[in-house]
Amino acid sequence: MTKTSKFNFARRCDWDLQTNEITRLKEQLIRQGTDIIDLTVSNPTQCGLIFDQDISLAELSDDRNRLYSAESQGMAEARAAVSQMYAKQGVNVAPERIFLTASTSEAYTYLFRLLANPDDTVLFPAPSYPLFNFLGTLNDVRINFYQLMYDQRWQIDFADLVEQLQPDARAIVLVNPNNPTGSYVSNEEIGHLNRICADRQMAIISDEVFFDFNHQRQSFTSLAGNEPALTFVMGGLSKTLGFPQMKLSWIILSGPDDLVAQARSKLEIIADTFLSVNTPVQNALPQWLAQKAHRQQPIQQRIKANLECLKQSIDGLRAAQLLDVQGGWYAIVRIDQTRTEEEWVLKLLGKYHVFVHPGFFYDFAEGSHLVLSLLPPTERFRDGVERMLSRLEQPYHG
C-alpha cells in the first residue's frame, strides 16, 4: 500500500483529483489498444492541421532573438502588429492599449488581480468551459454563473444575470463567441451590459479567442474599442492562428479614458512582475499575423465540412437535434432524456468506441446534450457521427 504523508497544502488547491467513470473507461480502452474516435479533440496540431514547416517556423530564425529587452506591455512591434490586425477588421486599437501575455489563462490572472479582491465575485456565462472554475480558485476569486438560454438561438438571460449582481461583483465575463454554444453577443446585449457595468462600476471581460470563426453570413461585433464601460478584450495565437504551442495572447483595453489610464498603469506593474512572453514569438508575430487568412483557411474548411456533415446526418432524426451554432469550434447536439448524459457517453464510448463530452461538463442548466469538436479529420468525424447517431436512434436497452 502506498503511504500518504500528511501536509497542509493551500486550500485553493484542495481539488477532488479522483477521475470520473467516463475518464476511467477511456483510459482503460486506450490501454487495451482500442481505436477510439475522439470527437472532443480540439487541438489543431493533433487534428492534421499542422502547417508547412517553412511557413510556420522560419520566422523564429531571427538574429534579434539573441537580444532581450524587458517591456512590460510586450514589444512595441508585436503590439503594433496586433493593432494592425484589428485595423483591417475596422476596429481602431492603439498599441498603447495592448498588453501581451503568454496565454489567455494568464490574461485572466492579470485581470482578476487587477479587478478583484480575495473572495470578490466574477460572473461567467453558463454553459461555459470548465477551466474557468480553476482560474477563479487559483486567483482567490469567487466564480458565479449567469445563464444563457436557448430559444432558436442562444442569448443572455438578463433576469438571471441581474440576480447574480451582488455588491462584491467586479466583472462580467463574455465569451464571444461562447464555448461551447458558439453564440456571439448581440449589439442589443452589449448595450444592456454596458449600462449595467457603467452603473455598478464593474468591468467587462470579453474572451474573443474564437471570434474569427464565424459560420454565418451576418457579421458580429467585437468589444475591442467598446467605450461606455471599462472593457478588456482577449485574443491569442492558440485559436486565431491555430498555434497553441506558440504561447502568445493579448489584452486590449477600452472604455472611458480616465479608467483606461488607471487600469493601464496598474496592469503595467502586474505585467512587469511576470514578463512571461518570450522574445522569439514576439519577433515572429508581425509576419504570422500578416498571413492570418492563409493560416485560418484550413481550419475554416475543416469546420465547414464537419458542420455540414453533422447537419445532414441529423436532419430528420427523432432522437437528436443540432442546436444553432454561430461560430467557434464546437457543436451541441440535444438528445433524448431516456437516459442520463453520462449513461449515453459511457455507452457510446464502451460499445461504439466514440468519445463525446456530456453537457454537464459545461454546466448546461437543463436538457441532455452532447458536445462535439468540429476539428477532427472529416472522415473520422463522419464515421464517429454515424456511430453516435445510429446508437441514439435505437431503443435504449441499457
Q: Can you give the pLDDT at residue 206?
A: 98
Distance, in Å, from the CA atom of 316 to the CA atom of 240, rounded to the nearest integer, reads: 34
Q: Are 331 and 372 in contact (CB under 8 A)?
A: yes
Residue 101: closest CA among 86, 111, 89 = 111
Q: Can you give the pLDDT at residue 19?
A: 87
- Residue 232 burial (CB < 10 Å; 0-12/13-18/19+)? buried
- Total-model pTM: 0.95
Residue 148: closest CA among 176, 125, 173 = 125
Determine the length of the chain: 398
Q: Can you give the pLDDT at residue 170?
A: 98
Q: What is the DSSP letter of 348?
A: H
Distance, in Å, from the CA atom of 165 to the CA atom of 196, rounded to the nearest integer, reads: 9
Q: Can you give the pLDDT at residue 52?
A: 60
Q: Can you give the pLDDT at residue 15?
A: 86
Q: Can you give the pLDDT at residue 54?
A: 54
Q: Can you give the pLDDT at residue 336?
A: 87
Q: Give the Å distances, CA to CA, from 260 to 37, 39, 206, 236, 263.
A: 47, 42, 15, 21, 5
340 CB-near residues (< 8 Å, 6+ apart)? 368
Per-residue pLDDT of the chain (398 residues; tens, 9 = 90+): 567 788 999 999 888 888 899 999 999 999 999 999 999 999 999 998 876 655 667 888 888 999 998 999 999 999 999 999 999 999 999 999 999 999 999 999 999 999 999 999 999 999 998 889 899 999 999 999 999 999 999 999 999 999 999 999 999 999 999 999 999 999 999 999 999 999 999 999 999 999 999 999 889 999 999 999 999 999 999 999 999 999 999 999 999 999 999 999 999 999 999 999 999 999 999 999 999 998 899 999 999 999 999 999 999 898 899 999 999 999 999 998 888 999 999 999 999 999 999 999 999 988 999 999 999 999 999 999 999 999 887 765 54
Please, what is the Cα angle at 69 between 64 and 74, to 5 degrees?
100
Cα 245 to the center of its chain, rounded Å: 16
Distance, in Å, from the CA atom of 135 to the CA atom of 257, rounded to the nearest integer, reads: 29
Distance, in Å, from the CA atom of 346 to the CA atom of 20, rounded to the nearest integer, reads: 11
Residue 93: closest CA among 80, 104, 78 = 80
Longest dimension (CA), the chain: 66
Q: What is the DSSP letter of 49?
A: -
Task: Evaluate the CA torsion angle 136, 137, 141, 142 in order and state its sign.
Answer: positive
Buried b (16+ CB within 10 A) or exposed e, 363-380: bbeeebbbbbbbbbbbeb
Please, what is the Cα angle at 36 between 243 and 305, to 5 degrees?
55
Position of cell 467587462?
A: 204
3-class SS at 8? coil
Distance, in Å, from the CA atom of 125 to the CA atom of 129, rounded to the nearest integer, reads: 9
Distance, in Å, from the CA atom of 341 to the CA atom of 190, rounded to the nearest integer, reads: 33
Q: Quote the cell numbers at residue 349.
A: 464510448
Q: Give the Å distances, CA to CA, from 71 to 77, 230, 266, 276.
A: 11, 24, 15, 10
Q: Can you give the pLDDT at residue 396?
A: 52
